Amino acid sequence: MAIYKRNTNVQSDMTTGFGTSSENSAGRFYNRRTGRANVVRKGVSILDRYSWYHTMLALPRLKFLVLIFSIYIFVNLIFAGIYYLIGINHLAGVHQGTPLKNFSEVFFFSTQTFTTVGYGRISPTGILTSAVATLEAFLGLLSFAIATGLFYGRFSRPQAFLKFSHNILISPYKDDIALMFRMSPYKNNILSEAEVKLTAAIQIEENGKRMNRFYPLDLEISKVNALPLSWTVVHPINERSPLVNLNQDDIKRMNFEILVFVKAFDEVFSNTVMTRTSYTADEIVWGARFRIMYYPNEDKTKTILDLDLLNEYDKIDLLQPIVSTQPVSG
């Protein structure tokens, strides 16, 4: 393990929420894609461990739709099986035929009852079949009420809708070097009062024990009034930086992670939104500069933000000072 040559001018941050013992933690602290902490809870039952409401709201769109449809099909298969076991002779209007044809008849009767559509061709006869149909109609009303609430919750939940560059760069900056990454909104939401906080998670050895230390990284600009374009977040690596004594080989040998926290105000929802991500040593590119990702349209009346260029950079000589053509807040 690399020995971290600590900068005594920088104090560690104890407010990250992660423990200090490296032997009791593993992997990166935050999931790069979702921004969620890589923590699995034990000691409680699975029903107590997960909030089904939070889980359903946080599911990716395709998984959510597939899950809702799968539950709908499964419930109707259960009720179709019950009707089939009771006997299709207790369903008036069924066109009997092969077992598969009979089951398809009761399955579609179940879907009509569950959704309370009720076309009228098939109807229950007898107390038992009518009781099952009544229960299914009641469960259908509850299920669609819950599904409607989930759809509304997902639709109305404010999100940051920010994309982060795949890599974080070490680049020449103002006759020195700096660590920088880029982020940009990708939907038509309006973000203002955007703030960003960077923390370096470094694994060190103290008294023969591996310890996690978290150091806040000072930024050239930590807050912008609005975020209509991309924002290149810059941490100058100078005498006030905890990274000042680290070289490329040091970072590659230690468990190094940059934690990124972003908070902004969504003007449409009139609410604060937050997101987070992280970068590890393998995602650091030494000696590179981001390409400009916005330009005017043909008649120069609007600015085009090209999100295809979010991750594009050019390799440069790290020893030469950078001649920046992109504003830090751009």
The letter for the amino acid at 84 is: Y
**Helix ranges (DSSP H) in the chain:** 46-49, 52-58, 61-86, 99-114, 127-156, 248-253
pLDDT tens for 187-239 read 988 899 999 999 988 877 777 777 788 889 999 999 999 999 999 999 999 88
pLDDT tens for 270-311 read 999 999 999 998 899 999 999 999 999 999 899 999 999 999
Residue-by-residue pLDDT tens, the chain, 330 positions: 445 555 555 666 666 767 665 555 666 778 777 778 877 778 887 777 788 888 898 888 999 999 999 999 999 999 999 999 999 889 998 888 899 999 999 999 999 999 988 888 889 998 999 999 999 999 999 999 999 999 999 888 888 999 999 999 999 888 788 999 999 999 988 899 999 999 988 877 777 777 788 889 999 999 999 999 999 999 999 888 888 877 777 777 777 889 999 999 999 889 999 999 999 988 999 999 999 999 999 998 999 999 999 999 999 876 543 333 343 444
Cα angle 66, 72, 76 (rounded to 5 degrees) comes to 145
Contact 238, 176 (CB under 8 A): yes
Longest CA pairwise span in the chain (Å): 88
What is the per-residue pLDDT for 19?
61
Domains and CATH numbers, the chain: 22-39+159-315 (2.60.40.1400), 52-156 (1.10.287.70)
pTM of this structure: 0.76
HSE, side-chain direction, 13 A CA sphere, residue 169: 28
